[in-house]
Chains A and B, each alone.
Chain A
Amino acid sequence: MDDQLYRQPVFRVFQIFLIIFTVLAGSIFAQDPAIGLTDSADVFVPAPPGAVKATDVVYDQGGAVDLEWELSPDDDGSLKVSGYYICRREVGGEDYRLVDSVMAGVRTFVDETVEQDHTYQYMVAVNGDCSTAPSEESNSITPDMEWLNFGLSNLFIIGLVICGSVIYFIAHAKRGKKFFIRKIAGLEAVDEAIGRATEMGRPILFVPGILDMDDVQTIAALTILGRVSRVVADYDTKINVPVSRSLVMTAARETIKSSYMAAGRPDAYSDDMAAYITDEQFGYVAAVDGMMVREKPATCFLLGAFFAESLILAETGNSIGAIQIAGTARPAQLPFFVAACDFTLIGEELFAASAYLSGEPKQMGSLKGQDVGKAIAMVFIVLGVITTTLAQAWDIGVFTWISDLLHDLFQVTS
């Protein structure tokens, strides 16, 4: 987390730097031909690169051109050639300007600084120690914009199938069809855990992770909070939701409030149930740890996006003997929850939880739909592994065809 925090500006500066450099290098290049002309014996001038081919990048906003050229014969890994300059001009427009430079050995470049529906020509100049040799002019090219990205049609098809199956089963359930859903231990325990807190007269702590609303795990956590606070309202127990983002606080309050209304006890709701602490990762952890040891909650829910703090929170909760139900979709943190908590929702279970707890048929339907997705994935894995293996063993046309098809089907471009 803190990593990203200070690296973002770095990248912003980098972009600015890039622009500055382009200009700078541009001026360098402007003089270079002059040097190239003084072609005395002691100045080595590398042989120019071969034909430059420019093609429009498909399925984009018309803002990019693909370039490809043959390396200069002198670019043979020896250090005679240090790189290539990419130059561009608008047909019928000004003369060649430097776009960017690439290292020696590179034979392709994507120019993303072009404008839609303008016609350009390119030239690639090889760069020796103190001389450059420009290539022939490239074909002229006019980048244009497509309205549909057919490069993603496989994503579209499979997406349609899986999303379709989810929606189908939701609709199916609406018509009153009942599905069997296996028991998920962590979620079965929720009622009991809340009941325990009620008996002991101790509060419940609900930590919705440390990321903002722009992370699905936080949203999943809130949907679960909705179910939990509903039960809490019925049991009339105290619930604390410390959060590390203001937006999450607002959303959490909205969620709890409506659950209390649904339970018919809006009077019992108070805004203090969800309180913002601080955005700082470990500052938040310090505060929550303090809360744990002071208020001694009987039950802790740690659901959402967690990083290094996962174990710090789980261990503290464990030390006060609270029942802990944890869940996250971050594989790196799951082991710590498994080690220190009573129940852990592993990845997918976190997102399924709210549907499971709701008990509504249509929500259950969506889970059934998910399983279809899993089935599809499994079938493709088995089929794919077998066919690719056979295809390579005895290169039988049909298997090669199938395995290639599967690969094309699941390769995601972009």
Chain B
Amino acid sequence: MKRQVALLITLFIGTLLVVSVFIPPMESLKETFTLFFDIIAVFAFFLGGGNLLRVHLTKLSKRKQDWVYSIVTLVGFTVVLVIGLFKLGNPGGIAASPTAEGSLFQTLFDNVLVPLSSTMYALLAFFVASASYRAFRAKNREATILLIAAFIILLGRTPFGMMLTSWVPNSLSILQIPNLAIWIMNSANLAGQRAIMIGIGLGVVSMSIRIILGIERTYLGEEK
């Protein structure tokens, strides 16, 4: 029974939102639900953050492998929470926005989080290289096509592309790699994008229907 109620809620809310699109008076419904979602998300964090604490505290107490690092995480977490909630070291005091210029909270962001995340992001450069080294192999026809397309674009965006095909007469300028790159970008590329997008659209529609009708209920539990 408990689960029947849940399924009814899904059915009702889902249908309501679909219908609301066609009924102007219900237009604002979407915004309302987004607001609700934001609020629920914060409440949920008490579970998430709580779990974070739990996991690391157990690691600590059980002296599991790498328990030392758990201390770091715990300290970092709690310190930021305290600073942020009581707005310590914030020139504007408790009234100011937590991320006010020069506040301890913002300094922490600039000096700790920014370098960390931008470095993690920068690792991408390495992985892009290793991936292209390994994955761009003319294994089969599909892979070959991918390789060629990638290679043309790749060259097209560097000076070499120009150098390589500068000898091509302007009458055949389309064959100059930079132009070729541009051409690929807005012909075949476009077609592929569209096919994928239409497919995704249908996938979402059909999945939403399954969920609203309660056929897809894994997220609520498969009580057989």
Contacts and interface: CB of A to CB of B under 8 A. Distances in A.
Chains A and B touch each other in the complex, with CB atoms below 8 Å apart:
yes
Interface of A: 2, 59-61, 145-149, 152, 155-156, 162-163, 166-167, 170, 212-214, 216, 219-220, 222-223, 225-227, 230, 245-247, 249-251, 254-255, 257-259, 261-262, 271-272, 275-278, 280-283, 285-286, 308, 311-312, 314-315, 318, 329, 331, 334-336, 338-340, 346-352, 354-355, 360, 362-363, 366-367, 369-370, 373-374, 377
Interface of B: 21-25, 27-28, 34, 37, 40-41, 44-49, 51-52, 55, 113, 116-117, 120-121, 123-124, 127-128, 130-132, 134-136, 146, 193, 196-200, 202-211, 213, 215-216, 218-224
Given A258-B218, A315-B127, A315-B131, A148 B47 contact: no
A354 B216 CA distance: 8
B213 A170 contact: yes
A170 B124 CA distance: 44
Contacts of A374: 198-199, 202
A196 to B, nearest CB: 21
A61 B221 contact: no
Contact of B216 (A315, A339, A363, A373): A363
B220 A258 contact: yes
A336 B136 CA distance: 11
A336 B128 CA distance: 8
Nearest to B22: A149
A318 B132 CA distance: 13
B48 A245 contact: yes
Contact of A370 (B22, B131, B202): B202
A219 B25 CA distance: 29
A199 to B, nearest CB: 24
Given A318-B134, A331-B193, A339-B136, 20 more contacts: A149-B22, A162-B205, A166-B206, A166-B209, A216-B207, A223-B207, A223-B211, A246-B46, A246-B49, A254-B220, A280-B117, A282-B116, A329-B200, A331-B197, A346-B196, A348-B199, A351-B204, A362-B215, A367-B206, A370-B203
B206 A222 contact: no
B219 A250 contact: no
B41 A245 contact: yes
B199 A347 contact: yes
Contact of A339 (B51, B135, B221): B135
A167 B213 contact: yes
A279 B129 CA distance: 28
B124 A311 contact: yes
A355 B196 CA distance: 19
B41 A247 contact: yes
B202 A311 contact: no
